[in-house]
Amino acid sequence: MAAEKDLQKKVIEEFSGMAAVKKYTKEALSGLWESEEKLIKRYFKKGSSVIDIGCGTGRTTIPLFRMGYKVTGLDITPKFIEIAKRIAGSKRLKIKYVAGDAAALKFKEGSFENAMFSFNGWTQIPMENIRLKALAEIYRVLKPRGCFIFTTHIRSWKGFTKLWLKQFAKIYILKPVGFHIEEIDFGDVFFSRDPTAEYSSKQFIHIPNVSHIRRLLEKTGFSVVLMAKRSEIAPGDSTLASGNCMFYVCIKPE
C-alpha cells in the first residue's frame, strides 16, 4: 500500500512540475486526435453527458464541450485543473472541471452516459488493484448502456524485448533477494519526459498486455465492443505522440 501511494504522489508531482506543465499547457488547445474524434462521433450520442477522466489541461474536454456534450473534466493533478479552468475562462467556455481520483469518484451511480480516459492516462495509475478499482468506479458512474473509451500502450511492441528481459530479472530475481526495485507490476516503466531539458523528470506508466486488459474489463462487467490500434482507426495518427496505442471501447450492459 505504501509503495503505491508513494508512486501516485510522484506521478502527481511530476505532472505538477515544470516539464509537464509546459507540455500540457501547450497541448491544451491542440484538439482531439482524429482517431478520438471518429470514435466519439461513432459511440457517444450527440448532446449526451461525458466524464472526461484524466482530462489534464483540457485537450479533449474543450472539443467535447464545443461538440455539444455535457462534459465534466476530472483530474487527480490539482495543478492541471487550475490550468484547465484558466484556459477555459480565457476562452469564455463554461466547462465544469473538478479535481478527483478515478479510483474514488465522488459521483452517484449512473451519473454519466459516457466516460473517457485519454492519452493512456489510466495506465498512469500505479498498481493493478488500483487500476481495477478505477475501472469499477467508471463502471459504477456510467448509466446502463454507457460507453467508456480509453487507450493504453502495447507490451508486444517491437523493440521492447530487451526492456522486458531486464525487467524480468529485476522483478523476479533481484527483488525477491532484497534489492530495492522501483517497478511494482511487470510492465511498469519510468520514462524521461524531455531528456534534453534541464528540468527533465521521470514519469511512470504501465505498459500492459492488451489481452489482459480485455480480461480486466470483462471482470469489471464491461462488454468490450472494440479493441483497435490507433492506425486502424486513423492511419495518420500513429506517427504522433503515444504512437500506435490501443483503443478500447466498452459498454456497460443494461
Q: What are the residues binding ligand SAM (CB under 6 A)?
A: 15, 24, 27, 53-56, 59-60, 75-77, 80, 101-103, 118-121, 124-125
Nearer to ligand SAM, 35 or 118 (CB): 118
Nearer to ligand SAM, 81 or 250 (CB): 81
CB of 173 to ligand SAM, least distance (A): 30
Nearer to ligand SAM, 26 or 166 (CB): 26
CB of 64 to ligand SAM, least distance (A): 11
CB of 118 to ligand SAM, least distance (A): 4
Nearer to ligand SAM, 101 or 188 (CB): 101
CB of 39 to ligand SAM, least distance (A): 14
Mapping DSSP onto H, E and C, the string for the chain reads: CHHHHHHHHHHHHHHHCHHHHHHHHHHCCCCCCHHHHHHHHHHCCCCCEEEEECCCCCCCHHHHHHCCCEEEEEECCHHHHHHHHHHHHHCCCCCEEEECECCECCCCCCCEEEEEECCCHHHHCCCHHHHHHHHHHHHHHEEEEEEEEEEECCCCCCCCHHHHHHHHHHHHHHHHHCCCCCCCCCCEEEEECCCCCCCCCEEEEECCCHHHHHHHHHHHCCEEEEEEEHHHHCHHHHHCCCCCCEEEEEECCC
CB of 45 to ligand SAM, least distance (A): 21
Nearer to ligand SAM, 77 or 167 (CB): 77
